[in-house]
Structure 1
Amino acid sequence: MMIEEMIVAGKEPEVQYRVQIFVPEQSPPPEGFPVIYVLDGHMYFGYGADTIRNQAGNAPKTGIEPAIVVGIALQAEDTVVRERRFYDFTPPAAAYKYPDRLKGMKIGKHGGADTFLDWLAEELQPRIMDSYPIQQEKQCLYGHSLGGLFTLYSMFKRPEAFQCYLAISPSIWWNEKHIYSFMNDAKDAKLFIGVGNEEGFMVEDAQALYQRLPNGVEEGAVYHVAEDENHASVVPATMSRAFRYFFQ
């Protein structure tokens, strides 16, 4: 197992991202390794790398193949990271409306998803493909919560950037479900939506969006509710299932 790390400048000069890369011990196949990009890498890169490392050795039974995992996180203190997520992961809008539960919460500026998506697709992806044996036609994006919202937005806006999108507990509620306004831009892509059954309204939101997916996405999409899981526990509880969907 090899884990490498690099600091990559964002679109804005003062912004830097910590990028961690897990590379399997196995020799890459002729076409290269599949790759999974994991948002909020400071929290979920370890889960993703361990899932591949532990299960890829017995792919016929686990359904999980050797793959490169790329974790992406803002290089900053935790308080800054939490605030910046509201910028990087939320779509632009002419106006914003906030639910009562955000009152008193410092969320900073938002609506920067296009900037982050441009950086991801035009700068980071080419850099990873130039540096590692990547199967270009087997790339996946994984995000949870606001990262799940960004994953949906990415699929709707740039479906060609990845071949599979794994949206776990996506924050569909953001800005009065503004994500629906981008849905018609979606094209054929693999989509897995996972949510914990203890997540209240987020379960209804996820199911409603799944049921309204355009035909090009709906045919191959999967909607999964994890029993007895909440907004935090749903990540480790569903990661193997989500990754298996990518490799199918």
Structure 2
Amino acid sequence: MENSIFNVGNYRISIHDFSRSSSSKVIYLIGEETEKLLPLVVDLDIVLVSIEGIDWERDLTPWEAPAAFRGQPVFSGKADEFLKILADKIMPEAEKGLTGSGHKRAIAGYSLGGLFALYSAMTSKDFTSAASMSGSLWYDGWLDFVENFSSSSKYPRFYISLGDKEERSRNPRMARVGDWTRRTCGLLEEKGYKVSFEMNEGNHFFEIPERIAKGIRFISEGI
């Protein structure tokens, strides 16, 4: 395994090269990396690029929305700006040292990172698949976006998971996550995309590295 780290502005990017072939998948992981994750994916033929230093309320939200809780920052909806930084600055730097050819890109994230992963794969042609683990698919306006978006590309494939206790939240917006996640899967399938949905045990904070690893493993194996 070869590792390297570089910075783009306030973002810290770590590259973990587990690849064993010339056609490995490059998976961009959105969000804070945990040491517990890497041993769970070390056997995969992938290059894992994790991005830290993210302003979650700004960078990962596709449009403006009220704060999730009183006293927290509002969601400022700058996902398109962050996606441009990802495509124009982070990806070229992360991939310039890769050997071989035929690399395919995927994107994965947890919570708001999962929301951003789906949004990115739906609006950009850079990714062949996306994994959203416990994604914040309760986000205001999300279902309208999924229902109305159209793309000439049919290649993105999606892995979506959720904890079976997440929709029991006392926050009424977050409590709709179960219904909105299932409806997201149905809408994507109606549009011709391949979707795999998995329900995990526990609430939003249960076995996070294991859930992320499941998603990464799934999209690494060519869904």
Taking structure 2 as the reference length, the TM-score comes to 0.83
Q: Whole-Å Cα distance in 2 between the matches of residues 116 and 170 of structure 1? A: 18
* 8 A Cα contact 1:37 1:71, kept in partner: yes
**Corresponding residue to 2:130 among 143, 165, 178:** 165
* Runs of 4+ off more than 4 Å: 134-137
2:140 matched to 1:146?
A: no
Secondary structure of 2:209's aligned partner: helix
**Which residue does the alignment assign to 2:197?**
223
Letter in 1 for 2:188: L
Higher helix share: 1
* 8 A Cα contact 1:33 1:133, kept in partner: no
Letter in 2 for 1:6: F
**Which residue does the alignment assign to 2:145?**
181
The alpha-carbon deviation at position 190 of structure 1 amounts to 0.9
User: CA 1:179/1:238 → structure 2, altered by over 3 Å: closer, same or farther?
Assistant: same
Secondary structure of 2:160's aligned partner: strand
Q: Map of 1:2-151 to 2, 5 A cutoff?
A: 2-9=2-9, 16-24=10-18, 28-29=20-21, 31-40=22-31, 42-44=32-34, 46-53=35-42, 56=43, 65-74=44-53, 84-93=55-64, 96=65, 98=66, 101-107=68-74, 110-133=76-99, 136-151=102-117
Secondary structure of 1:110's aligned partner: coil
Q: Whole-Å Cα distance in 2 between the matches of residues 17 and 208 of structure 1? A: 33
User: CA 1:72/1:123 → structure 2, altered by over 3 Å: closer, same or farther?
Assistant: same
* 8 A Cα contact 1:144 1:168, kept in partner: yes
Gapped regions of structure 2 (runs ≥ 5) = 168-174
User: CA 1:102/1:141 → structure 2, altered by over 3 Å: closer, same or farther?
Assistant: same
* 8 A Cα contact 1:51 1:239, kept in partner: no
Letter in 1 for 2:217: R
RMSD: 2.3
Taking structure 1 as the reference length, the TM-score comes to 0.75
Higher relative contact order (CA 8 A, sep 6+): 2
Gapped regions of structure 1 (runs ≥ 5) = 10-15, 57-64, 75-80
Q: Whole-Å Cα distance in 1 between the matches of residues 143 and 179 of structure 2? A: 15
**Corresponding residue to 1:212 among 167, 172, 187:** 187
**Which residue does the alignment assign to 1:244?**
217
**Which residue does the alignment assign to 1:193?**
160
Secondary structure of 1:37's aligned partner: strand
